[in-house]
A and B are shown apart, each in its own frame.
Chain A
């Protein structure tokens, strides 16, 4: 795990357009970000797309990073990308409904790609509502504190804790059931 000063140097390199520094950021965060996308969407193909989009956004927006927790900043972008994905999916769903096509199954969650095995945890996560699912994954993969997560979601920390507790309790029951 890269620490403080090294990370600051890497980010400074990214800001000056150094491809090697971007490459290191990809190596450092791709696994966690991918886990967040995968557990939130339940779909490998979509996670691939979202991860690519995240790093493209990173390149475009690195100039606007003004210090503070880089992980918090990166996962805020990841969270925005995930919510954009949900919104576009909602639009697609409405479009499909109006056309009365039977393509609904294409976008129901959890979705598995051809030949992909969905683990038991993923299938139970898929039974949680989207918001709770995303909150749990954000906490686990971003490794941010509850204070940072609450700030990111623009809600009181007590609300974040209560939602998280309800979600985890339900997930635990589902896994034990």
Chain B
């Protein structure tokens, strides 16, 4: 039997052994090949081969069914994966409008689309008006236009500011 896969045995052995060992190895390898060639193993009986072939023929239908079933499962798996991907794709394509709706539900549409929030939001408009009013009063006090008790007015303004701030953060 000399049909070994092509390989340069000398070069291969040379990677692991020194020159003397390589020659000894090659010699042993060749001698072993000769021994095995000169003492061939018995051949399998014809009856055994016939039985093996009969056994294979008997098992093939079951193997074919199994192969078919496996292919079916593989195809089912692929179909399921495609269906899931398609579903995800459809959902993703619909998602932008849904996201707009979601944000719009948190923030009123009028404010979301407004160019001037302080006028379009009732609460903010109220706070803005009060702040403007307090600002005027502060300016009046600073310029000495206020006729009343100066300290009392400032304290009153501060109280109003605190109240507004508190209301604002409460929402």
Contacts and interface: CB of A to CB of B under 8 A. Distances in A.
A143 B1 contact: yes
B33 A22 contact: no
Given A23-B56, A56-B56, A144 B41 contact: no
A168 B32 contact: yes
Contacts of B122: none
B39 A121 contact: yes
B32 A52 contact: no
B44 to A, nearest CB: 4
B63 A30 contact: no
A22 B60 CA distance: 10
Contact of A56 (B1, B15, B45, B59): B59
A59 B59 CA distance: 8
Nearest to B41: A35
Contacts of A7: none
Contacts of A55: 52, 55-56
A109 to B, nearest CB: 15
A60 interface: yes
B6 to A, nearest CB: 8
Interface stretch (B23-31, B100-108, B143-151): B23-31
Contacts of A27: 49
B32 A171 contact: yes
Interface string A42-59: 001001100110011001
A165 B36 CA distance: 15
Nearest to A40: B41
A120 interface: yes
Chain A interface, DSSP helix/strand/loop, else mixed: helix
Nearest to A157: B12
A107 to B, nearest CB: 20
A78 to B, nearest CB: 13
A82 interface: no
**B12, B51, B56, B57 interface centre (most CB from chain A within 10 Å):** B56
Given A168-B29, A169-B28, A31 B7 contact: no
A26 B56 contact: yes
15 contacts: A17-B63, A19-B60, A30-B49, A34-B42, A59-B56, A59-B60, A121-B36, A143-B5, A145-B5, A145-B6, A146-B7, A146-B12, A147-B7, A161-B17, A168-B29
Interface of A: 1, 17, 19, 22-23, 26-27, 30-32, 34-35, 38-39, 44, 47-48, 51-52, 55-56, 59-60, 63, 69, 119-122, 136, 140-141, 143-148, 157-158, 161-162, 164-165, 168-169, 171-172, 175
**Which 3 A-B residue pairings sit nearest by Cβ, starting from the closest?**
A35-B41, A121-B39, A145-B5
Given A19-B60, A63-B70, A121-B39, 16 more contacts: A17-B60, A17-B63, A19-B56, A22-B53, A26-B52, A34-B44, A51-B48, A55-B55, A56-B55, A56-B56, A143-B3, A145-B7, A161-B12, A161-B17, A162-B16, A172-B32
